[in-house]
Amino acid sequence: MTRLFFSLLIVSFLCFCATGCSNGTRVSGKVTFDDGSPLTVGTVVFETEILQFTGDIQKDGTYRMSADGGKSGIPNGSYKVAIANAFEGTGEFVEIARDTLQETMRPLVNAKFQQTSLSDLTCEVNGATTFDITVTRP
């Protein structure tokens, strides 16, 4: 029985790698404000109940989702979408510890876009997908 179990486990693992470890689906797009100007910093987050994938926003507002640091795409499926880490420095500093200053940060996008639980953004990935995102300022 144990030998059969391990044989089935190995076959299952190999099948998973043949399908689930492939390059995945390429997802890319552009993040812009409602006036058409690009968001130039931050991270796009695609999330399900058990998976999360991210893509860094480039200076021109474009992003590409990645499952492993840019080498492959993501699995097909339905995703909730949010924008994380979209902040800019204010030029003002606060003391966080003795002799340690930290610049205060200001959010660049409306709070509703910062968490998948608040955002109304969703994307259905089924093959190569372009998903452009429009956000508003705070």
CATH number assigned to the domain comprising residue 110: 2.60.40.1120
The pairing of strands 77-84 and 43-47 is antiparallel
Q: Residue 14 falls within a domain, yes or no?
A: no
Q: Say how far apart CA 131 and CA 19 lie, in whole Å.
A: 24
Q: How many structural domains comprise the chain?
A: 1
Examine residue 79 and state whether it is found in any structural domain, yes or no: yes
List, in sequence order, every residue forming a beta bridge with 129; answer none if it has no partner: 27
Domain-located, residue 11: no
- In this predicted structure, what is the pLDDT of residue 96? 85
Q: What is the pTM of this model?
A: 0.77
Is residue 70 domain-resident? yes
Q: Is residue 8 part of a domain?
A: no
As a whole number of angstroms, the distance between CA 128 and CA 131 comes to: 10
The C-alpha atoms of residue 47 and residue 98 are separated, in whole angstroms, by: 39
Q: Is residue 12 part of a domain?
A: no
Quote the CA–CA distance of 7 and 67 in Å, as a whole number: 29
Chain segment 34-49, per-residue pLDDT in tens: 999 999 999 999 999 9
Q: Which residue range(s) make up the domain with 101?
A: 24-135
pLDDT tens string 59-84: 999 999 877 655 678 999 999 999 99
Distance (Å, whole) CA 97 – CA 22: 47
